Amino acid sequence: MNLVFLFYFFVLGLGLGSFYNVVGLRVPVSTFLKNKRSICPNCFHSLSWYELIPVLSFLIQRGSCRHCDQSISRIYPFIELFTGFFFVYSFYIFGFRPELAVALTFVSLMSIVFVTDITYMLIPDRILFFFLPIFLFLRILVPLEPWWSAFLGASIGLLMLASVIVISRGGMGGGDMKLVGLFGLVLGVKGVLLAFFLACIYGTCFHGLQWIVNKQGRKKPIPFGPYLVMGALTAYFYGEMIITWYVRTFLTFTL
């Protein structure tokens, strides 16, 4: 594995992660094009290039604005590192095989969804419909095995979440539904089922923990997007392994 390429994908991920923060924070409030320059949301001071270096600026300024001392959300360096890490990991797994294009696009969508859902509790249609034709195109060029798994997976994802929305009476939103539809396109039938199953497990574990630790936070609604993101990434990178392990461990005994 070439270290230069690993480093390159890490830096690329950090830089794009910084951009995905901006996309995720601005698209839901429609200010994507109005403020071309980045500003401090508290004192509105325009930020210089040295205040916009991924992760480093946050560390050097000790997590606060240089002008007004307002603390900067930790989501910024988190998403930068998240994108950087998964870009490197995608390259580590796929090298320069065509699936790398799918992996990098998928990680990008995951970063943006993480930001919008944690910040605004929503997953904007504009983001989802931007990625839809890209994934369609990619899954035609880089098909799953069998090729129709992507399309069946997308339909299953949409139907599954639609039923959850009906049964839970709005416990999940239309954004979650369309997102899981996209998961199906990328992950296929088995992958989308596994992703949703894992998201529920992650959600239950983290929320259960929060329920025990923080008594005030119990009634607060939780964004489900970050759990869907974690479930999808686990299914994408480890799906085959998990399913093979599961079948070997549990199903061979009963057969």
Binding stretches for Zn ion (CB under 5 A)? 40, 42-43, 65, 67-68, 70
- Output 26 or 67, the one with its CB closest to Zn ion: 67
- Output 67 or 207, the one with its CB closest to Zn ion: 67
Instruction: Tell me which residue of 194, 225, 58, 53 sits closest to 127, measured CA to CA.
Output: 225
- Output 47 or 160, the one with its CB closest to Zn ion: 47
CB of 163 to Zn ion, least distance (A): 46
Distances (CA, A) of 147 to 6, 138, 143, 232, 247: 30, 12, 5, 19, 23
d(CA 201, CA 222): 14
CB of 68 to Zn ion, least distance (A): 3
Read off the tokens for 3. Answer: 């270290």
CB of 70 to Zn ion, least distance (A): 5
- Output 65 or 161, the one with its CB closest to Zn ion: 65
d(CA 169, CA 151): 27
The backbone region for 47, taken as left when phi is positive above 0, alpha when psi lies in -120 to 50, beta otherwise, is beta
- Output 38 or 105, the one with its CB closest to Zn ion: 38
- Output 65 or 185, the one with its CB closest to Zn ion: 65
CB of 40 to Zn ion, least distance (A): 3
CB of 52 to Zn ion, least distance (A): 13
CB of 44 to Zn ion, least distance (A): 7
CB of 91 to Zn ion, least distance (A): 36
Residue with tokens 């603390």: 71
- Output 38 or 42, the one with its CB closest to Zn ion: 42
Contact between 64 and 70 under an 8 Å Cβ cutoff? The reply is yes
d(CA 173, CA 224): 9
Contact between 50 and 57 under an 8 Å Cβ cutoff? The reply is yes
SS3 21: helix
d(CA 54, CA 58): 7
